[in-house]
């Protein structure tokens, strides 16, 4: 644990500012202030915040609202979006960093190689949920604490997943494009449009996000399904009238729509490969707001091209950002977004506050909430012990350098 008076270097990797400049004002004057998460977990509770909830905090100029707090305590704070490749700012700054903060949407891949040349690194914080951009095995081996702000954007992601389910099945994006093109092509617009009502909808993993998706889909009068290594309580299954499946294969065989919500770790990497996708119904849909590497990129693209899949909506890619020639950019019948589901302005207020809470605990040598912990003391801990497995899922992340070069 850290000494309270020790001055530290914090490197924070955030996505770029808006191309049109930082917003002079926002679409709304405020955001709803929540008091607790749906399961009763309390909201982030730092001693104070130096930002206005609803501001753009996740980009470089936003700085997660941390600069004043950190510099007032005498720490060094470096913020950059330049994260990929040997000549990146992150590559140069991590070597003497004590703490790294990164977001899943623009992940600073903390690989075995980067950990090996960063002897001071003791804490890696995910500003959001999902710490697979950290080599967890190397963190375990090097006694690095890994934290994430659990639940901060779970509902944000679940809303995005439901939006994607509806957009795919109703074929919303092509219909919108006919309007943009000045057309009124109703027959073209509805040629791939169906009702969700009566379909079999399944979630792979029914944790905070997956369960929220099930709850939000139930009013659509669909048949609900799920699989998870931790089965839901019997009363919840009864309430939602949801069918449990023993594994992913059983789930996908039964469903018209599969929404993926498990963490990425060695057991789930490339789970949706050619073999598993082939067991899905012809004309079924996949929604993936979890991690891109859970799906095999080539298998998804080929299944869409052949028509075996009717649609794929993903908010997550691998690596991030993906190269310009990544097949998911150009495959047919997709509804991809650039990992925005968990970084709404509402979510940013929560994960920025959560990061500050973690830092306050770290600097003051106080325990970090168990639900925020992924790795601590050389082993999986807290939420990490419940949701992850040991190992590394960062392999191939160096491909992200090709986005910067335009390849």
Domains of the chain: 9-152+344-382+389-405 (3.40.50.720), 154-329 (3.40.50.720)
Confidence (pLDDT) at 406: 66
Which residue is catalytic, options 2, 153, 333, 376? 153
Confidence (pLDDT) at 294: 98
Question: 86 an active-site residue?
Answer: no
Distance between CA atoms of residues 258 and 286, nearest Å = 5
Could you tell me the pTM of the whole model? 0.96
Which residue is catalytic, options 133, 297, 339, 356? 339
Confidence (pLDDT) at 2: 62
Which segments of the chain have a pLDDT < 70? 1-4, 405-407
- Residues near 55 by Cβ (< 8 Å), separated by ≥ 6? 26, 62, 65, 345, 348, 349
Phi-psi map region of 18: left, alpha, beta (phi>0 left; psi -120 to 50 alpha): beta
Q: 68-106, pLDDT tens digit by residue?
A: 999 999 999 999 999 999 999 999 999 999 999 999 999
Residue 253: closest CA among 273, 274, 276, 237: 276
Which residue is catalytic, options 133, 160, 291, 334? 291
Question: 175 an active-site residue?
Answer: no
Residue 199: closest CA among 154, 165, 234, 249: 165
Question: 333 an active-site residue?
Answer: no
Contact present, 284 and 257 (Cβ < 8 Å): yes
Question: 153 an active-site residue?
Answer: yes
Confidence (pLDDT) at 4: 63
Q: Which structure tokens are listed for 254?
A: 């039964």
CA distances from 135 to 101, 112, 228 (A): 14, 6, 24
Question: Which secondary structure element, helix H or strand E, spans residue 208, and what is its range?
Answer: helix 208-217
Confidence (pLDDT) at 407: 61
Confidence (pLDDT) at 69: 98
CA pseudo-torsion sign 299, 300, 301, 303: positive
């Amino acid at each position: 644990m850290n000494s309270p008076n020790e001055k530290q270097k914090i490197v924070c990797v955030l996505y770029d500012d808006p191309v049109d400049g930082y917003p002079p004002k926002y679409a709304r004057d405020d955001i709803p202030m929540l008091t607790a998460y749906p399961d009763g977990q309390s909201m982030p509770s730092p001693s104070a915040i130096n930002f206005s909830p609803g501001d753009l905090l996740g980009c470089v100029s936003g700085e997660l609202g941390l600069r004043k707090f950190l510099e007032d305590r005498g720490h060094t704070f470096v913020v950059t979006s330049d994260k990929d490749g040997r000549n990146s700012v992150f590559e140069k700054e991590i070597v003497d960093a004590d703490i790294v903060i990164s977001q899943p949407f623009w992940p600073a891949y903390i690989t075995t190689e980067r950990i090996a040349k960063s002897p001071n690194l003791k804490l890696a914080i995910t500003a959001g949920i999902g710490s697979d951009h950290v080599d967890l095995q190397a963190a375990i081996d090097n006694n690095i604490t890994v934290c994430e702000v659990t639940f901060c954007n779970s509902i944000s992601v679940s809303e995005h997943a439901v939006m994607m389910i509806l957009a795919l099945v109703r074929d919303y994006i092509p219909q919108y494009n006919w309007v943009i093109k000045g057309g009124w092509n109703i027959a073209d617009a509805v040629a791939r449009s169906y009702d969700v009502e009566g379909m079999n909808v399944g979630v792979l993993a029914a944790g905070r996000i997956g369960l929220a998706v099930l709850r939000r889909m139930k009013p659509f009068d669909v048949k609900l399904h799920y699989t998870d290594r931790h089965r839901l309580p019997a009363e919840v299954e009864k309430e939602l009238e949801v069918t449990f499946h023993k594994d992913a294969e059983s789930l996908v065989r039964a469903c018209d729509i599969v929404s993926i919500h498990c963490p990425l770790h060695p057991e789930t990497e490339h789970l949706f490969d050619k073999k598993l996708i082939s067991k899905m119904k012809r004309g079924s849909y996949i929604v993936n707001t979890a991690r891109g590497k859970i799906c095999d990129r080539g298998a998804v693209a080929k299944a869409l091209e052949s028509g075996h899949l009717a649609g794929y909506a993903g908010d997550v890619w691998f690596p991030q950002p993906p190269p310009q020639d990544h097949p998911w950019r150009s495959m047919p019948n997709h509804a991809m977004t650039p990992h925005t589901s968990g970084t709404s302005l509402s979510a940013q207020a929560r994960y920025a506050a959560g990061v500050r809470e973690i830092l306050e605990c770290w600097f003051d040598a106080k325990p970090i909430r168990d639900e925020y912990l992924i790795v601590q003391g050389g082993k999986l801990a807290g939420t990490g012990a419940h949701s992850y497995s040991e190992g590394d899922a960062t392999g191939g992340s160096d491909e992200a350098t090709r986005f910067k070069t335009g390849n």
